Chains A and B, each alone.
Chain A
Amino acid sequence: MSRLRATFVAPSAMVMILLFFVPLLIVFVYSLLTRGPYGGVMKPWTIESYIRVFDPLYGEILWRSVWIALLSTGLCLLLGFPLALYIARSSTHKTLLLNLVVLPFWTSFLIRTYAWMFLLRDTGLINSGLEAMHVIRQPLPLLFNTGAVILGLVYGYVPFMVLPLYATLEKLDPVLLDAAEDLGASPWVAVLRVVVPLAKPGMIAGSLLVFIPCLGAYLTPDLMGGGKTVMVGNLVQNQFTTGRDWPFGAAVSLLLMILVVIVIQALGRRGEDLI
């Protein structure tokens, strides 16, 4: 088997090395170099980029990314848990209900973001509607703010929360709820004391799957935040395009990677068990 197996593994290993690890290594090397005059990098070697990351200006962006990601994850949990519980407890159409949650995930992320922009813009449906009904004179500033970014993130990633939650809730024996009620717990208390603790693995997996892409989000803050709510992803993109400071962008990227790895490790599981 070993030869067949080696043949099977080789192409993937090569792709992963060439298109994943080597690029990351280059980013690491770049992060230790000086910015070139027209973009790109040049010697001398320095750790200046890493020091700059802790500049209050950038620290603020980092902190904002973390709390936006945390808040979005919390909201996804708040929205996703009852939804997953409802699907898991419904007697019929379970698959259909679950597919309805997952389906938007299969359509374009960009289009889903655009759909909200269409609703929230100054000339969007909500504002035009309210103006037509003479509720407001000036359009409400619904888009291009932090709230809109969080809305976009929750909308985009809530399926990632519902799927693992559903998987754990569906395995839960409904008789446990009967037992809790039999012992004097009201349905609400039963959910709190029995369902929630038993759904913990799903909650952790779902939170991880939502938090990580939210932390590194680029498109949502870019489109829904309109450049006003800058997150780490935007900072990185900026350094590699208009900012033309590749070493700094590289240093921020690596920091973001390290954050991701720390989060995964902190939740004490190997990625393998999660998905």
Chain B
Amino acid sequence: MGEWFQAREPHCASIVFQKVDTVLELRALTKHYLTHPAVNGISISVARGEFFALVGPSGCGKTTTLRLIGGFEEPTSGEILLDGRQVAGTPPYQRDVSTVFQNYALFPHLTVAENIAFGLERRNHIAKSEIRAKVQQSLSLVQLSGKETRKPHQISGGERQRVALARSLILEPKVLLLDEPLSALDPKLRKQMRSELKSLQRRVGIAFLFVTHDQEEALSLSDRMAVMNQGSLEQVGTPRELYRQPSSRFVAEFLGGVNWVNGAGVRPEAVRISRERPGNHVHWIGGVVEACTFLGNCLHVETRLANDTRCTAEVAQNGFEFVPGDTVYIWWNTADELRIGNGA
């Protein structure tokens, strides 16, 4: 019953949004495999030019949702509206969306330029010269000029990703679907590509629907995001809203660490910790340090509180050291407490 209510809520919000300029709208989208529901009544709307992230643990149905929009799977029920037109039932090659696949799915027998030109060549009545010009243009858009004659296996992982982006963007789709596009890259490159992706999206102005299991990626990249769990939508909103006002315990915990103390949720970075007893102007709780981990830019202090609950504090690296066994005092600002929407 609760899930049903949550699924309805963003749908209501989307009606308001449609007036803004909705390019993609999912209405009660459902996909069943045999009897098991992979996607369960999802309603989302994505605005033109918006960077929208769909995030959730593996197996939550986010990739299936993307494949439904791309046309690789047919929904059991529900609607997919692209620019207000129902596209469920339309094959992928007639849908005005394009996908960047997890491993990019570049055609190994074609060069970089041929990969990028593939989609345009499928369209009728486009002159060869025009294709060539557009390919050059998109090569420079993704900074791959000079690599057009390479084969996919002759370029780096980051370059491959850019080819995949260029190959889709050249078709000027209404929505670009990205299926964990950063997961195939090594961690350092991933951070760099994050900002490149964001600036590319701003330049081309095409709506991106970005699927990831990495909450940090979603939080840092998206204008708005949706959290999915077990095929259902948990919450939709801006990264700030979701992080600070999660509608459920699941969203709160998925997007970051949470300490649950006396029924209140507090993010570790909001927890204050001191060896000295603070004044009576704050409501403090006493505890004992169990472990203290040095993380470079901060310290993670794990404590056991008087009522036997655990609480982790993330404190800035400012010369303080905590040793297991230390007696400490913990408090936080009431404003920093998470307000769980449905009291999960």
- Touch A–B, Cβ below 8 Å: yes
Residues of chain A at the chain B interface (Cβ within 8 Å): 173, 175-176, 178-187, 189, 193-194, 197-198, 200
The answer, among B92, B103, B123, B171, for a CB contact under 8 Å with A181, is B92
How far apart sit A206 and B109, CA to CA, in the bound complex (Å)?
Answer: 20
Tell me the chain B residues, 105-144 only, with Cβ under 8 Å from chain A: 105-109, 118-119, 122-123
The answer, among B93, B109, B122, B123, for a CB contact under 8 Å with A197, is B109
A261 to chain B minimum Cβ distance, whole angstroms, is: 29
B24 to chain A minimum Cβ distance, whole angstroms, is: 15
Say whether B91 contacts A181, CB under 8 Å. yes
A47 to chain B minimum Cβ distance, whole angstroms, is: 47
Interface of A is mostly: helix
Say whether B99 contacts A182, CB under 8 Å. yes
A92 to chain B minimum Cβ distance, whole angstroms, is: 14
A179-B101, A189-B122 given as contacts; is B93 within 8 A of A184 (CB)? yes
The answer, among A178, A183, A198, A200, for a CB contact under 8 Å with B171, is A183
- Could you say which of A183, A189, A193 has the most chain B C-beta atoms within 10 Å of its C-beta? A183
Residues of chain B at the chain A interface (Cβ within 8 Å): 70-72, 91-94, 98-99, 101, 103, 105-109, 118-119, 122-123, 167-168, 171
Contacts of A179 in B (CB 8 A): 99, 101, 105-107
Contacts of A186 in B (CB 8 A): 91, 93
Contacts of A183 in B (CB 8 A): 93, 98, 118-119, 122, 167-168, 171
Q: Can you name the residue of chain B whose Cβ is closest to the Cβ of A174?
A: B105
Say whether A184 contacts B105, CB under 8 Å. no
B110 to chain A minimum Cβ distance, whole angstroms, is: 8
A171 to chain B minimum Cβ distance, whole angstroms, is: 11
Say whether B108 contacts A198, CB under 8 Å. yes
Say whether B109 contacts A178, CB under 8 Å. no
Contacts of B106 in A (CB 8 A): 179
B191 to chain A minimum Cβ distance, whole angstroms, is: 26
B112 to chain A minimum Cβ distance, whole angstroms, is: 15
How far apart sit A19 and B106, CA to CA, in the bound complex (Å)?
Answer: 50
Say whether A182 contacts B107, CB under 8 Å. no
Say whether A182 contacts B92, CB under 8 Å. yes
A154 to chain B minimum Cβ distance, whole angstroms, is: 28
Contacts of B71 in A (CB 8 A): 181-182
How far apart sit A183 and B98, CA to CA, in the bound complex (Å)?
Answer: 7
Contacts of B109 in A (CB 8 A): 194, 197-198, 200
Contacts of A194 in B (CB 8 A): 107, 109
A11 to chain B minimum Cβ distance, whole angstroms, is: 43
How far apart sit A183 and B70, CA to CA, in the bound complex (Å)?
Answer: 10
Q: Can you name the residue of chain B whose Cβ is closest to the Cβ of A184?
A: B122
- Could you say which of B71, B94, B109, B168 has the most chain A C-beta atoms within 10 Å of its C-beta? B109
Say whether A182 contacts B98, CB under 8 Å. yes
Say whether A180 contacts B118, CB under 8 Å. yes
How far apart sit A64 and B108, CA to CA, in the bound complex (Å)?
Answer: 39
Ranked nearest first, the 3 interchain pairs of A and B with the lowest CB-CB distance are A183-B119, A179-B105, A184-B122
A184-B171, A189-B122 given as contacts; is B92 within 8 A of A178 (CB)? yes
How far apart sit A179 and B105, CA to CA, in the bound complex (Å)?
Answer: 6
Contacts of B123 in A (CB 8 A): 184
A181-B91, A182-B98 given as contacts; is B105 within 8 A of A175 (CB)? yes
A189-B122, A197-B109, A198-B109 given as contacts; is B93 within 8 A of A182 (CB)? yes
Q: Can you name the residue of chain B whose Cβ is closest to the Cβ of A196?
A: B109
Contacts of A197 in B (CB 8 A): 109
A-B residue pairs in contact (CB < 8 Å), sample of 23: A173-B105, A175-B101, A178-B70, A178-B72, A178-B99, A178-B101, A179-B105, A180-B107, A181-B91, A181-B93, A182-B70, A182-B71, A182-B72, A182-B93, A182-B98, A183-B171, A184-B122, A184-B123, A185-B122, A186-B91, A194-B109, A197-B109, A198-B107
A178 to chain B minimum Cβ distance, whole angstroms, is: 5
Contacts of A185 in B (CB 8 A): 93, 118, 122
